[in-house]
Amino acid sequence: MLKRMLAVTMIGAGGAFAQDVTPAVQPSNEPAVTPISSEPVVNAEDPDARKKRTEALLDDIEKADRAIKTLTAKVVYEKRFDLGGDTQTRWGRMIYTDDKMPDAERKRRFAVHFDRLRVGSRLEEERRSYLFDGVWFIEKRHNDSEISKWRMVREGEKIDPLRIGEGRMPIAIGQRKEDILARFMVESLDAEDGLATPEGEDDAPFALLRTHAAGTVQIKLVPIAGTEESRDLREVRLWYRKIEGATDGVTYLPVLAREVNRSLDVSTVRLGDVVANGEFDAADLDTTDPEGWKIDIRDLKGNALSAE
Q: Nearest to residue 76, comparing CAs of 277, 258, 285, 287? A: 258
Confidence of residue 108 (pLDDT cuts 50, 70, 90): confident
Contacts (Cβ under 8 Å, ≥6 apart) of 121: none
User: Per-residue confidence at 153, pLDDT binned at 50, 70, 90?
Assistant: confident
Q: Report the DSSP beta bridge partners of residue 252.
A: 242
Instruction: Please report whether residue 19 resides in a domain.
Output: no
Does the residue 102 lie in any domain?
yes
Name the pLDDT band for 212 (thresholds 50, 70, 90).
Answer: very high
- Map residue 300 onto helix, strand or coil: coil
Of 42-51, 124-133, 199-208, the poorest mean pLDDT is in 42-51
- Residue 33 within any structural domain of the chain: no
d(CA 140, CA 129): 5
Q: What span, in angstroms and rounded, lies between the C-alpha atoms of 166 and 229?
A: 8
Phi/psi at 103 (nearest 5 deg)? 60, 30
Q: What is the maximal distance between C-alpha atoms in the chain?
A: 63
Residue 25 lies in a domain: no
Q: CB within 8 A of 166, min separation 6: which ones?
A: 2, 3, 6, 159, 160
The one-letter amino acid code at 296 reads D
Task: Please give the residue that has the higher pLDDT: either 272 or 22.
Answer: 272
Domain that holds residue 247: 2-14+46-307
Average pLDDT over residues 86-108: 83
In this predicted structure, what is the pLDDT of residue 173?
Answer: 80
Classify residue 34 by burial, with Cβ atoms within 10 Å: 0-12, 13-18, 19+. Answer: middle
Give the mean pLDDT of the chain: 82
Query: Which CATH number belongs to the domain containing residue 126 in this structure?
Result: 2.50.20.10
Report CA-CA distances (Å) from 213 to 37, 177, 205.
15, 22, 12
DSSP class of residue 69 equals S
**Domains identified in the chain, total number:** 1
**Is residue 20 situated within a structural domain?**
no
Residues 213-261: pLDDT tens digits?
999 999 999 999 999 899 999 999 999 999 998 888 999 999 999 999 9
Q: Return the pLDDT at 32.
A: 38
**Does 30 have pLDDT greater than 70?**
no
Q: What is the pLDDT of residues 183-211, one digit of tens each?
A: 999 999 999 999 999 998 899 999 999 99
Q: What is the DSSP letter of 28?
A: P
The HSE-up count of residue 129 (CA atoms within 13 Å, CB side) is: 24
Phi, psi of 52 (to 5 degrees): -65, -40
Any long-range contacts for 155-159 (C-beta under 8 Å, 24+ apart)?
A: 158/134, 159/2
Decide if 24 is inside a domain.
no
Residue 38 lies in a domain: no
